[in-house]
């Protein structure tokens, strides 16, 4: 037997006696500059990306949003939240890495001449995949008490995507049908099957959308707007879209191009398929986080 000195047996956990220590004491953090824009995807995506970079590269990160305006402002006068408040809400609910910090700064009167730097979108399905602190609540309740579905539609849009920018019409094909009544039709078909659809619109406050989605079985909508919140919450989702980018931006979504392709009788089956796809992507995501990628950044601007 080795003649080792007598030492007291210790039973603790990995964070026992852990002291808060910032890597800034020894190294510079990774700085990401990002042009501020108005969409939910334009805030949830970079924040998720910044946290992934912190965990992936074992480094503190500073994400700087650059705004052309001199101060925070409402996108529309009828809005109840500024875009900067959306950023704060997202940062409050996103899952944090245990050892690394992400700081978010706002730079005003700064019309950035490019979209972003230190940005690596090589793995588009994974680079901005990150979930909230709420975890997954799939199947926690029986159908009779858990039949709400959040509907992210453009029914109340004053201007449809096809009118605002023809190049974005693919994001919402149901708004571009000859009758213009496809979204109400989908809602009616779902309701007739015993579901309780709850509609949210672009003007619906973010806090209300989060609360409603957490009470829902799944989310049905188009590519954009509150679907990014559904992605952050890990919700099973059905998306109507005609774009190939949707498969990368929402990798576990069940996607239809036309409402006639969607069978409302199979809504629960679609949600189950979405959950299965999500779990497969989470498995890939956990491996992806283990590979550092500083060597691929190189201060690139895009």
Coil, helix or strand at residue 30: strand
Same domain for 210 and 108, yes or no, is no
Number of folded domains that form the chain: 2
Same domain for 114 and 147, yes or no, is no
> Is 62's pLDDT higher than 60?
yes
Q: Which residue has the higher pLDDT, 297 or 160?
A: 297
pLDDT at 79: 81
Same domain for 255 and 162, yes or no, is yes
Same domain for 227 and 261, yes or no, is yes
Tokens of residue 190, six digits: 């779902």
Chain segment 74-100, per-residue pLDDT in tens: 877 778 889 999 999 999 999 999 889
Same domain for 161 and 102, yes or no, is no
pLDDT at 4: 77
Same domain for 104 and 193, yes or no, is no
> Is 164's pLDDT higher than 60?
no
Same domain for 180 and 224, yes or no, is yes
Of 76, 104, 119, the position where a domain reaches its end is 119
Of 99-108, 144-153, 164-173, give the lowest mean pLDDT range: 164-173
pLDDT at 140: 58
Q: Which residue has the higher pLDDT, 228 or 9?
A: 228
Within a domain: residue 127? no
Residue for token digits 């994001």? Answer: 171
Tokens of residue 7, six digits: 């030492």
Q: For 75, how many CA atoms within 13 A lie in the half-sphere containing its CB?
A: 16
Of 119, 151, 179, the position where a domain reaches its end is 119
Chain segment 200-215, per-residue pLDDT in tens: 987 899 999 999 999 9
Under a CB-based contact definition with an 8 Å cutoff, are residues 293 and 56 in contact?
Answer: yes
HEC string of 156-217 equals CCCCCHHHHCHHHHHHCHHHHCCCCCHHHHHHHHHHHCCCEEEEECCCCCHHHHHHHHHCCC
Confidence category of residue 23, pLDDT binned at 50, 70, 90? very low
Same domain for 180 and 147, yes or no, is yes
Instruction: Round the average pLDDT of the chain to a whole number and report it.
Output: 85
Tokens of residue 208, six digits: 């209300």
> Is 26's pLDDT higher than 60?
no
Of 119, 135, 168, the position where a domain reaches its end is 119
Confidence category of residue 253, pLDDT binned at 50, 70, 90? very high
Same domain for 164 and 66, yes or no, is no
**What contacts 8, CB < 8 A, 6 or more positions away?**
none
Same domain for 182 and 101, yes or no, is no
Per-residue CA distances from 302 to 49, 174, 210, 295 (Å): 15, 32, 31, 17
pLDDT at 69: 92
CATH number for position 217: 3.40.50
Q: What percentage of the chain has pLDDT greater than the value 90?
A: 57
Tokens of residue 42, six digits: 């334009």
Within a domain: residue 17? no
Within a domain: residue 133? no
pTM: 0.85
Same domain for 108 and 156, yes or no, is no
Within a domain: residue 294? no
pLDDT at 76: 76
Within a domain: residue 5? no
Cα gap 249→228, rounded to integer Å: 9
Within a domain: residue 9? no
> Is 299's pLDDT higher than 60?
no
Domain carrying residue 66 = 23-119
Same domain for 84 and 149, yes or no, is no
Mean pLDDT of 25-47: 87
Within a domain: residue 15? no
Chain segment 273-291, per-residue pLDDT in tens: 999 999 999 999 999 999 8
Within a domain: residue 229? yes
**What contacts 46, CB < 8 A, 6 or more positions away?**
32, 34, 63, 65, 116, 128
């Amino acid at each position: 037997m080795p003649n080792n000195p007598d030492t007291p047996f210790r039973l603790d956990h990995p964070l026992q006696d852990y002291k808060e220590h910032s890597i800034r004491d020894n190294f510079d953090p990774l700085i990401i500059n990002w042009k501020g824009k108005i969409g939910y995807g334009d805030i949830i995506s970079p924040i998720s990306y910044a946290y992934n970079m912190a965990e992936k590269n074992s480094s503190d990160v500073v994400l700087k949003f650059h705004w052309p305006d001199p101060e925070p402002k409402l996108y529309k006068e009828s809005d109840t939240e500024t875009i900067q408040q959306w950023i704060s809400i997202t940062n409050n609910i996103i899952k944090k890495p245990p050892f690394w910090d992400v700081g978010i700064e706002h730079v005003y009167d700064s019309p950035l001449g490019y979209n972003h730097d230190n940005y690596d979108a090589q793995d588009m399905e994974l680079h901005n995949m990150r979930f909230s602190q709420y975890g997954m609540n799939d199947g926690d309740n029986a159908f009779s008490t858990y039949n709400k579905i959040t509907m992210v539609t453009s029914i109340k849009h004053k201007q449809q995507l096809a009118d605002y920018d023809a190049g974005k019409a693919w994001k919402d094909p149901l708004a571009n049908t000859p009758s213009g009544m496809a979204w109400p039709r989908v809602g009616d078909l779902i309701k007739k099957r015993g579901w309780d659809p709850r509609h949210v619109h672009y003007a619906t406050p973010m806090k209300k959308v989060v609360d409603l989605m957490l009470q829902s079985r799944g989310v049905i909508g188009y590519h954009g707007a509150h679907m990014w919140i559904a992605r952050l919450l890990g919700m099973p989702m059905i998306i109507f879209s005609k774009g190939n980018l949707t498969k990368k931006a929402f990798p576990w979504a069940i996607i239809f191009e036309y409402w006639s392709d969607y069978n409302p009788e199979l809504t629960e089956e679609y949600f189950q398929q979405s959950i299965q796809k999500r779990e497969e992507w989470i498995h890939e995501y956990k491996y992806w986080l283990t590979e550092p990628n500083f060597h691929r950044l190189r201060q690139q601007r895009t």
